[in-house]
Amino acid sequence: MRKAPTILHLDMDAFYASAEQASKPSLRGKAVVVGGLGPRGVVATASYEARVFGVHSAMPMAQARRLAPNAAYLVPRFAFYKAISEQVMGLLRELSPLVEPLSLDEAFVDLEAGGTAWDEASARLVGAKLRADIRAVTGLTGSVGLAASKMLAKIASEQAKPDGLVVIEPGTERALLGPMSVRTLPGVGPATGDHLRRAGIHTVDEIVEAGEDELVRLLGKAHGHGLYAMALARDERAVVAEREAKSVSVEDTYDVDIHDRVRVGLEVQRLADRCVRRLREAGLSGRTIVLKVRRYDFSTLTRSETLRGPTDDPAVVREAALRLLEGVDSTGGVRLLGVGVSGLADFTQEDLFAQAAGVGADHAVEEVADDVPVAAERDVVVERRWVAGHDVRHAEYGHGWVQGSGLGRVTVRFETPDSEPGRVRTFLVDDPALEVAEPLPLVEVMGSHSTTRDGFHP
């Protein structure tokens, strides 16, 4: 381990919910829950105001509604969150070439590798400036932990929440970890935690007291040795700048089991198209098509087919996924479907053929991208047009967001990130003056007021 707290861990505070509160003035200071709103939905993020009622991430949405019936419940806007995340990650990459994103709202940074910090004082200054820059660029807050290892930096950022900065000085780690729960250590989930509890081990100090041999006996050689080293505050894991994607996949869980075989096939085609869009956004292609089916009894089947070469052609992926579906018994109903592509590459067979023939690959991709979606996808888009929390624009009233819809009506609150809480109005769902809109930036870009309000383009 290094001798200075130059590993930084950033964790944005209640990221999805905070982004929604910043975007919607009427929700600031109020309980907000973001996640799937159907009967089988789960909480993605809850604002700190909602957490007071016991709501937390990964909780069934039905339970969250019982705990906080008056909270605002919104469907995630992942493209919006991703755009904000890119702004934050850009700030981190200014500090060091070694940035290891863990998710949209969390990352490690090796400050020593970037030459931006070399001791506690310089690391603390970098952490404070980063928090200020994040607030200035995004309007949101993040918590920063600084330590000599990744494990301790993450623990520090957790202690800093919300909107704080904690530095763990080298030499103080053992005293800090000792009284903490074993669940604090990486790799100790519910199952391992229960196993240790049954052995009378509840704290990190008790892991050390039990000794390495006892940990190996209880948990096995690899896990036992690793956990004992963590309890002694030994963590030599390096910050890894890039993690190569092994697969790209999409999946949907359905509120009601699908029994119609034709409908299942149409859903698989729709998922295949979404998966290809993600592939292309990442500039990738793949050879192996994977189909995932979770049936009514929660049994999960996975089938795969490997092609002769990598592809990002939606027709090819759709056809392969449908062939895989033919071998799956969906009798009794399907509750989840997923389509993925693995064996990733940064080129396709079509690219190679185009280069050999002197044809521009961009032109070929453009033609495929204009394919008309399957009929089922068009129907789904119409049905889900007015999604709770998503952005709309009215010809007369301007920008707003959907509070809810049903019985042929849609309720919209008209407000923007820099306005006062707005008024609520209700329209017919087919009102021609109302249309889906792009999210607005949370912080106005200087000198571009007339253009940025038309959409979020950081």
One-letter amino acid for residue 99 of the chain: V
How far CA 250 is from CA of 273, 315, 341, in Å, comes to 10, 16, 9
Give bridge partners of residue 300 from the DSSP assignment. 294
Cβ–Cβ under 8 Å, residues 336 and 252: yes
Give the integer Cα–Cα distance in Å for 32 and 56: 11
d(CA 43, CA 282): 27
Element (H, E) at 225: helix 221-231
CA distances (Å), 429 to each of 68, 76, 328, 404, 433, in order? 28, 21, 38, 11, 10
- 160-170 burial, b at 16+ Cβ within 10 Å, e below that, comes to bbeebbbbbeb
397 three-class SS: coil
Q: 20, 100, 106, 415: which one is catalytic?
A: 106
Q: Which two tokens stand for residue 124?
A: 């603390």
Amino acid at 55: V
Q: Name the 3-class secondary structure at 348.
A: coil
> What is the C-alpha separation between 410 and 389, in angstroms, rounded?
12
- 66, 104 in Cβ contact below 8 A? no
Distances (CA, A) of 437 to 89, 284, 379: 25, 29, 19
Write 82-86 long-range contacts (CB < 8 A, 24+).
83/439, 83/456, 83/457, 83/458, 84/19, 84/138, 84/140, 84/442, 84/458, 86/458
- Residue 187 is encoded by which pair of tokens? 């790799």
Residue 403 and residue 412 in contact, taking contact as beta carbons nearer than 8 Å: yes
What is residue 330's DSSP assignment?
A: -
Q: Which burial class, exposed, middle or buried, applies to 198 when counting CB atoms under 10 A from its CB (0-12, 13-18, 19+)?
A: exposed
Neighbouring CB atoms inside 10 A of 332's CB total 11
- For residue 142, which of 217, 71, 213, 85 has the smallest C-alpha distance? 85
Contact 439, 80 (CB under 8 A): yes
Q: In the annotation, is 106 catalytic?
A: yes
Beta bridge partners of 301: 293
Q: So which residues are the catalytic ones? A: 106
